Structure 1
Amino acid sequence: MEDAMKVFKEFFELPFEKKSHLYTHDENVKCKLYTSSYNYENEEIHYWRDCLIHDCAPLKESFDLWPRNPPRYREVVGEYLSQVGKLGSRILDLISEGLGLESDFFAHGYNEDFFLTVNHYPPCPDPSFTLGLPKHCDPNVITLLLQDIVPGLQVRVDNEWQLVQPRPNAFVVNIAHQMQVISNGKLKGAEHRVVTNTEKSRTTASYFVVPSKDCILEPAKALTQNDPPLYKQFRYAEFMETYKALSTQEPENLLEPYKFKKEVI
């Protein structure tokens, strides 16, 4: 974890000419560096971050797409992602156990894809003008976040924003939209955002556990025997189209098209 964070920071400290070839907002590029969001041209407000994003599944096949600088990036990040992947599988097994599902429930299409985003938030001259990231809920199943020592992550609890203080040698695990669907609302997607500061830069790395594009999402059958399903069946690729189209809306609204409507008597 320490080595990975060091090499992520080294990447963002590189001179512009050493990383400029990675800059693009083309969604089809598998390893890229961009500013603000993937929708930069159309967004009303730009956010105070640079983001390095790349695939990490299959791990060995993705290796050659990653940055060549710093020279040790691929070796260090490859080992890091191998270990974080195992941790993610273990966490999913424990969530399955907690929900009363079979232990390998999430092994069937729900953790087929993985990608990494490394966010860098430079010091912001006036944090009142913009955020590092706007409020949102991740679209996938779970996200494992590695923070550095500089705080900035806030989570919404009872309609109030609470700062998540970084802890050494620990991950923040975000429940995402698909976990909310699968658990039939027993687990709620974590609404969060990132604030900036005027003095220190902040770097974080998020490992996203993602369903396959053709994965069918719906509440687990074992959780709808006594309670009616809250969500309809849908493909993950379909949800992602909705997620991108409605990204500026309230995070909870992104699941509205997939909810069963309550009958009015």
Structure 2
Amino acid sequence: MALLVSSWSNGVQSVPKDYVMPPERRPRDFVSVCDEIPVIDLQENPKADRSDIIQQILKACQEFGLFQVINHGVSEKMMEDMRVLYHEFFNMSVDDKLGVYTESFGKGCSLYTSGLNYAKEDVHYWKDTLKHPCHPLEEHTPSWPEKPTRYREDVGRYALEVRKMGFKILDLIGEGLGLNKGYFNGVSQEQAMAINHYPPCPDPSLAMGIGGHTDPNLITFLQQDQYGLQMHKDGKWMGIDPIPNAFVVNIGYQLEIISNGKLKSVEHRGVTNSTTARTSIVTFFGPNPGLPVVVEPAKELVTSTNPQMFKSYQYNNFIVDYMAYVRKPLPRSGTPLDPYRL
């Protein structure tokens, strides 16, 4: 438990050497904020009908691989309740967090620090993470933290509301691609949350919250209230400013493949700051790696003029390959998608 950054970093005057990133992995001193990230209003009205919203989403997915949504159906109060809850959680005593703590990433509910396996890392990330599955709730809530005492009830309600929003957005994307209604139900069996907590860092130019990566799942929804998210576009890193009560929607590899390359996943990372803790509340939708789920480009999107770009495969095999890739020493070559291209 002493490994958790949140348990020892308060008042630290310098970055410990095992948290100092090599120069090529450090954030730059200055990264400009991208003002062009689309902000999409999901509330249908006479001035912005459903077809307009769909086209905005598709354009954002093609050009940026992510966008922000407002008027999405998750209430401001619920989002604020989550911010308060996770502030309390990460500031609880060590003893109160012991029940879910582990020293390496694992299945089920786990609280861990840095990356996938702390003991084998050459350098550590400046973050703690609580991660757990969410669907179906009755199956997973018994493994969730017991404290704060309202955790299971409040997070359960939040998970259900995010699920409604998520499938609304997936239906809009599917409709825009010309897929049958409910197409993504079969590849969105798993819903999980990862709450990443980045305490203030004495020198953000030396440490990283989380390195550049692209999500292996279908689609990701991120709630944030402090700056720290950056995306890689056109050969450079650009910042994404938080919008109050908005979600950042991020395209994962599976959606890029199902769309036959029409939609693009995007590399992103998290940086730290020296004054304020940042907590991002992330919800992932994707196939269940415990089931024999086949993923492939949607047949409706494969034509003589737009040939199939990716192989058909079982998602559990993809995850094995993806994890092997991310565990390779940096710098890496290629992407996890390379073995699946035709």
Offset from partner CA, 1:36-86 (integer Å, 9 cap, x none): 012222222210000000111111221111101111111111110010011
Tell me whether 1:171 sits opposite 2:247 in the alignment: yes
2:244 alignment partner AA: P
| Stretch deviating more after TM superposition (235-244 or 58-67) | 58-67
Among the aligned pairs, what percent are the same residue? 45
Q: Which of 131, 138, 150 is equivalent to 1:53?
A: 131
TM-score, normalising length from structure 1? 0.93
Q: Which of 130, 140, 144 is equivalent to 1:62?
A: 140
Structure 2: runs of 5+ lacking an equivalent: 1-78
2:113 alignment partner AA: T
Q: Which of 254, 263, 266 is equivalent to 1:190?
A: 266
CA-CA distance at 1:22 after TM superposition: 1.8
CA-CA distance at 1:250 after TM superposition: 5.3
2:108 alignment partner AA: K
Q: Distance in 2 between matches of 1:90 and 1:96?
A: 10
Q: Distance in 2 between matches of 1:253 and 1:212?
A: 22
The residue that corresponds to 1:227 in the other structure is: 306
In structure 2, relative to structure 1, the CA distance for the partners of 1:139 and 1:12 (3 Å cut) is same
Q: Distance in 1 between matches of 2:171 and 2:277?
A: 35
In structure 2, relative to structure 1, the CA distance for the partners of 1:137 and 1:74 (3 Å cut) is same
Structure 1: runs of 5+ lacking an equivalent: 261-265
Any conservation in 2 of the 1:25–1:38 contact (CA below 8 Å)?
no
The residue that corresponds to 1:246 in the other structure is: 325
| Stretch deviating more after TM superposition (53-62 or 199-208) | 53-62
**Counterpart secondary structure, 2:167:** helix
Q: For residues 131-170 of structure 1, what are the structure 2 equivalents within 5 Å? A: 131-148=208-225, 150-170=226-246
The residue that corresponds to 2:337 in the other structure is: 255
The residue that corresponds to 2:153 in the other structure is: 75
1:201 alignment partner AA: A
TM-score, normalising length from structure 2? 0.73
In structure 2, relative to structure 1, the CA distance for the partners of 1:117 and 1:158 (3 Å cut) is same
1:125 alignment partner AA: P
Displacement over 3 Å in runs of 4+: 25-29, 248-252
Any conservation in 2 of the 1:94–1:103 contact (CA below 8 Å)?
no
Offset from partner CA, 1:125-177 (integer Å, 9 cap, x none): 111222100000010000010102x1000011111111110011110000001
CA-CA distance at 1:26 after TM superposition: 4.9
Aligned pairs, how many? 258
Larger Rg: 2
Q: For residues 15-94 of structure 1, what are the structure 2 equivalents within 5 Å? A: 15-94=93-172
Any conservation in 1 of the 2:104–2:117 contact (CA below 8 Å)?
no
RMSD: 1.4
The residue that corresponds to 2:56 in the other structure is: none
